[in-house]
Copies of this chain bind each other. A is one copy, B any other.
């Protein structure tokens, strides 16, 4: 009778507040333990365990054992993309979590989306790379150009290991705050790491916010300038 993919399971997994909180926490890309997720969601460890099992069974998260800890991550970038898409729609429809803290503007400015940079800074970096011809958009695929390779190499990033990985080097991800694309994929991850390593910014504890120092911000704008149009 019915045909096609079934979206009810994914919907109901995201539909529970406790699980939505856990998933939101995991968009930061940071691997979290069950206890941390329990704390994040405000529920006991037993309940958390049950939720995590369901999320894993539904293919939304992955777990990694390490000693007596279990670290949880989103299953892949597609899950992060879906969550950001939903956040975009939710924001548009006015479904905002009631207690909106003072962090919201910082979130809009620069935050982590799974493992790459999002927010205004993420969009700027993406625009800069495309505008200067370092990335090229072809359909919905993005590819790095020869001059882009040189640029990345100039930053001290080695592309070879990134290209060998299974995950795509370049991938676009839609922002809920800016409604624009930013760069995902292994290159997106590498560039975020580059920002950390240069000391331009640091990730706030247990939050998705990426906090740039004043010097870091200047260096960022210098490295990823927007072309006047």
Residues of chain A touching chain B, judged by Cβ–Cβ distance below 8 Å, are 1-17, 20-21, 24, 58-59, 75, 78-79, 81-83, 85-97, 99-101, 103-104, 107, 126-127, 130, 137-140, 172, 174, 176, 180-181
Contacts and interface: CB of A to CB of B under 8 A. Distances in A.
One complex includes copies of this chain to the number of 2
Closest 8 CB pairs of A and B: A12-B15, A11-B14, A11-B15, A59-B93, A5-B90, A15-B15, A5-B91, A5-B87
A196 to B, nearest CB: 22
Contacts of A13: 11, 15
Nearest to A104: B3
User: A83, A86, A137: which has the most chain B beta carbons within 10 Å?
Assistant: A86
A53 to B, nearest CB: 15
A4 B24 contact: yes
B86 A7 contact: yes
Contact of A101 (B3, B10, B140): B3
Nearest to A209: B3
Contacts of A138: 137
Contacts of A3: 97, 100-101, 103-104, 107
A19 to B, nearest CB: 8
Contacts of A9: 15, 90, 95
Given A89-B78, A181-B140, A20 B4 contact: no
30 contacts: A1-B101, A2-B101, A3-B97, A3-B101, A3-B104, A4-B96, A4-B97, A4-B176, A6-B20, A6-B97, A8-B17, A8-B20, A10-B14, A10-B90, A11-B12, A11-B20, A12-B12, A13-B15, A14-B14, A14-B15, A15-B15, A58-B95, A59-B94, A59-B95, A81-B85, A82-B86, A126-B139, A137-B139, A139-B181, A140-B181
